[in-house]
Structure 1
């Protein structure tokens, strides 16, 4: 498997990837936070002012080509910040929920809102508006259908201990009943998927991905960790951050990002471009004796199939 799977050729800051099949072009799309790793500036300005980058694959996810950034998302003037998109297809419409911050912050400050857009093409997006959730500092959405009908959204609430919260919807437009789900420690980037008879949630604990299992999407049991041990492939020698999972037939693939330049970095050392840059990687998931496992050093061939 190619490693790294993808690097952004403009700012070299591809993070928070989400993978979606474009039914019009018959390609797989990777939409991601395009952090400005090459930009100089105070504090964490380089993490802000980010567009949503797009890479496409016509061969089942093996090779990815940078295509640019999603147009037409701005709804107010200025240079603003888009983070961590989630794109969910339902009945002919793509629903995108993206974290939004007004302007470019130089510290980890400012309100964060989830903005909802819809599209039939993945290119032309219509603003549906901000969501009203559990606070004004929410990011990192994922969406999954609920058994019996309806949808559930999981997200990070920074106002409430950087815990995972959830909200429900009947139509993907109106969300209600926001409540805490995982509060054991601060984390981000929840991602929920169904694989081999169970529901799974992975979360970025900033030390690897914490894993939880559920039979009903209501009750979650700890199931271990993945991507906590650095790999040996090129640019994979760092913990795996904010990930997306695609279940394809009998296989499941996790797409995550690393900061390879931080390997061996001395504590307290000043970060530069090499420490800020990021690479997207992919690995195969499996379930063994009821435990979700991932061998990130495994030699495998990715093959995303649209059913």
Structure 2
């Protein structure tokens, strides 16, 4: 019988808040109830924003909550080679292409199209789908960028990837999606368009690294917030293309502020460290997140 493996995987690019506390505690308690393992993973692929000080704060906050985890802790920044190997495999299948448009050029192309009355397709998070280099730059300008080895991102050719994957994709959901979806969920990665797999300043992406990490660490149960429910479709596609195991997914409710907005590290919402310094106890945190 396979031992259940759960994980909590924060990014050290800000302080943990109440939403992180909910996810960490749910994973820890689910692992304990199942007689399984609880792992902590540091998702620090963004080397510009992630710092050792913030990582240390994560350890402090989680220990204060009464959580403990296996060591050593996996840090994504130590495993860029693993993601490169996976990227090379997808490239060998003809599924990866260089994308030269800047964010400003993408925004400009979308703005012009919408000003002309065109309804631009957007992914489940609301970001516009990639318009394609040639369509925006034209063949000559694109050729010049390629010849000049201009910095670029690497994107997944979604149409080709779906053909290679073959057949319908799905995942088992034991939690619930934003609209209450549960059970066997049909995955529709096409809604995300040609997702980024690596950037010029970051040799991997969240989508690619998370599926490699989960497979490498033997994660059997991925328990995370509902805001990542739709992204599971992309993860299932990458798992299929790379012959990786399929975990069971459980998307839990989010902790929202008084306006119904999801908490954000970038705004310092309800940081656990600040709450601790103000006199809150771990039991207070549990009450605040509805446990």
Return the TM-score normalized by structure 1.
Answer: 0.27
Choose between structure 1 and 2: higher helix proportion.
2
Query: Which structure's CA Rg is the greater one?
Result: 2
Structure with more contact order per residue of length (Cα contacts < 8 Å, sep ≥ 6): 2
More strand by share: 1
